[in-house]
Amino acid sequence: MAPPRKDRDIPYHLIHTHLLPRLPYKTLNRFKCVSKSFNSLITADAQFAADQTRSAHASSGCFVYMSSCCLSFFPDAAFIGVPDPSLGFLNPSSTETESDEVKLVTSTNGLLLLCGKFNGKKSICVCNPATREAAFVSNNGREKSYRSEMGMVYDPCQSPHRFIIVELLLHNYGYGLQYQFDVFLSDTSEWNHSRQTVCIDGSIVAASKPVCANGVIYWSCSKCLMWYDTEADLAGSITLPMIGGKVIEGQAHTGVYDGDVVYCRTWDGGIEVWRLTGGSHWDRLHGSRWDSMIGAFDFCHGMRLRGKNQSEMFFKRWSPQPVGFDGRFVYFIVINQKCRDNRKRVFGWECDTGRVQDKGEVIGGWCPDNVFNYVNSMTRVPRILSGIS
């Protein structure tokens, strides 16, 4: 048998669907100079953009949050390589008041939804920090509060020229909270009011942390997830995963992995990851007790009291907060109280091996509810039609 040719070309589909979409931003950006076809693929192909954002193991994937008026990333900010984390290309106005600060509202398929003051005008901004493109949505005479509960839908494969913004309208009623929905379509530049109403009985905690999966926006809301389907104009709620018929109290994170909603929970019994399948059923993917991890925290040595469960002690003392799941690690923050300034550190629990790795220190002040999945993408920001800018 003749030896294989050393100069044999790699099949086209492997390069375009398996190799290039998984490259980090800086490396991928260099490939635009290889040829016109590569440049067109990377910068203008909707399917390629979809492959980038949906790749479950994309090396350019991470988590993003807003810190001191700029974007911060973990676990490896340098590897992500966003050109301008300060968002200077958006010309944000100086923060004279807290209400003028630029806030990260949500992240969907490579696009960020921000609210704040840009060019001296308070507005909503949809931007791609990798390509430094943006579209602005002004209030257009409507009294909008730009709260952080707005969700966004963007699918670069199905609808590359449209994004949808959904704002919650909150009302109190006798037994809990009532929500309605205002919907903005970029291809019509119009706000429309949905007829859907969702009542969360017994809830005193407002909905937060909007995430999007398969065209449906989900909000964390007390002991359930509230959802709104933008295509069908339907809404409802789903009870969070239960143990013994009860929703376990603790710290929680809602995110998206491989196109599905995932729910990470830390409680005195340990840590666990659930996935929402079929829009209504929770499957438990991973779980472990804290006892098997405590040795990895150098500030937990000697944490032993007679008659006390170590796992319960660890949770009560350090209150680990989950902030993300990428298919391999569950990331959570822990405050090392040996440090006088109570600095927070990010740790990663590797689900398959059970190992715990220190992923570094948290930069600046942040809120766990404003940490979102992010994947570098060369997708173009859809234009807003009918003259809104």
Task: Out of 92-96, 121-125, 195-199, 345-349, pick the least confident.
Answer: 92-96
Does a structural domain hold residue 52?
Answer: yes
Does a structural domain hold residue 63?
Answer: yes
Task: Please name the helix (run of DSSP H) or strand (run of DSSP E) that holds residue 184, with its range, or none.
Answer: strand 176-185
Domain range for 370: 12-375
Does a structural domain hold residue 136?
Answer: yes
Does a structural domain hold residue 165?
Answer: yes
Q: Is the pLDDT of residue 389 over 60?
A: no
**In this structure, what CATH number is given to the domain that contains residue 160?**
2.120.10
Arithmetic mean of pLDDT, 14-20 = 73
Rounded distance between C-alpha atoms, residue 229 and residue 212, angstroms: 10
Rounded distance between C-alpha atoms, residue 19 and residue 21, angstroms: 6
pLDDT in tens, 282-306: 999 999 988 888 777 755 555 554 4
pLDDT in tens, 64-91: 988 877 888 887 777 777 778 888 888 8
Q: Is the pLDDT of residue 199 over 80?
A: yes
Arithmetic mean of pLDDT, 142-167 = 81
pLDDT of 51: 72
Does a structural domain hold residue 83?
Answer: yes
Tell me how many domains the chain contains: 1
pLDDT of 388: 45
Question: What's the pTM value of the predicted model, to 2 decimals?
Answer: 0.84
Does a structural domain hold residue 153?
Answer: yes
Rounded distance between C-alpha atoms, residue 361 and residue 230, angstroms: 38
Arithmetic mean of pLDDT, 342-366 = 82
Q: Is the pLDDT of residue 106 over 60?
A: yes
Helix (H, G, I), strand (E, B) or coil at 350: strand
Rounded distance between C-alpha atoms, residue 250 and residue 265, angstroms: 7
Does a structural domain hold residue 283?
Answer: yes
pLDDT in tens, 126-138: 999 988 999 998 7
Does a structural domain hold residue 383?
Answer: no
Rounded distance between C-alpha atoms, residue 379 and residue 60, angstroms: 14
